[in-house]
Structure 1
């Protein structure tokens, strides 16, 4: 465990220093285009253990390995099906992870109990530079305490992990805002096992065929990807998803306030103008769901600075990147409350 965490602005010298930490078996945080990652040498079991310790992450929750290019993917797997090659060519570097048969060069505790490994090529230039400078595969989950909202800025990482890791690289705010889409490529056909920055429609367009979305029908006791088995992304106060019209939403606010509770809202621009509560956090517009994706974790974290007792969150359309948004919100929420006519 680090006694003092270095906080560094992204430049050539910082990349060199972080690479030395990785090579020495330490854990560092760095930006990707999705969220900030908590990275260590994926071929070093002792270094990988430090990721789990720093996050307080269950040891059976697998990690994704980050590499710099397609040639490096080939170095760590036994086979890449033709459909997986199409996905790699079309979406990498970018917010897509492919799960492939491992050849054993990645440490066993990266994907405990599995013969496969999830690999992606991050698009953020800082991540690319770090991987190349370290010249190692980097296992990197999101750089937050386990169960809490993922970090989209270096200050989020600092708030969660200062003193627990060797260094944090500040590369600005991330763009996509949600973790990568994970596609299981170990079978005859691909299966989406975690929705993310690449949508099902985009994948189907590239492969020119329907692709199974298995995100709600999986063996979570042996997860092939992060985010499948445990609750995640939770704010520091209870959160309820509200499915219904604005009158139903306001009635739930009024009911909770009548019970003496201060209510916070996580809603779109459209709904915000029609509701009244103690705290309001607007996360984007339903006319462009990518705006909600990019701000979701920042807004979830923002409630920590307020005195609200409970958060009510809008249910967004589960289409396109909306599937990923709702996947995260359902894992973050205590439960969903629906209007009578929606049940």
Structure 2
């Protein structure tokens, strides 16, 4: 038996009459590999019903919390979104054997010393800036560290290049770790973690009270969570030696932990000087064809990246799939293959046709 985990994170800010509270929060979902096929089928069935009910026309089967919020919330109305997530807990989480682990990080000190910094930083800076770059893996590390689970397969939503921590080393030394870009849109376990994080985070914000482990469990119980498979963990001062890096110059490169195959999108406009790279990314991610690309990556259980020849050329010899979006990118894809890189080439129309769309679009 092997454990499978998905991990994601966010920030929690509360403001009340007695002051403010700041914390990084996360969810790590876990499931035994023997139970995963049931979870997968329940997840797909639930999302197909969601698409049908709200007339969501997309080939995608995996959704992030931000996708669901965008579809269900009209103005400031939260009711439909919260009902959707409660149904997700009842119909998918509790029925499939998924374990839900909510983790929140807060610290009983005003300043924290960091290697390489001349002066200690405020706890606010530590939570908002330092932890932001790598907290994505801390929820699953917390669960594995405290339960003693080993040899798990771990999927973490993408995070920045960041200093290596003892927590990261412990996680990687004992487990199979993958960092998935757009993980909440292509990986079922990261998506589940993200959806549940949105649910729990919203409940806590509506209550607007500083989290406490015993209180959290009592007031979250009416929202559908199974007591036997719901855990809450606090990361605090005792964990600083694990979650603070020892040497700021020793970095984690998340690109080295991507699951294969890697699907590279080749930009069409920015190399020709017609659009800035970040603007083309926004254009692609808001497009119809991007939905088909996400479906393909999810089905292949791989990872997605807009190609960067300064970052990726050293990885191309490991193979993967290149997706061209137009004539310019088609020529680049064929050039890469001519150079001998073992890359499969698909164009956007082929992907649309693969999943039953109109290739003329």
Structure with the largest fraction of helix? 2
Larger radius of gyration: 2
Regarding TM over 0.5, the answer is no
Q: TM-score of the superposition, structure 1-length normalised?
A: 0.24
Relative to the length of structure 2, the TM-score reads 0.23
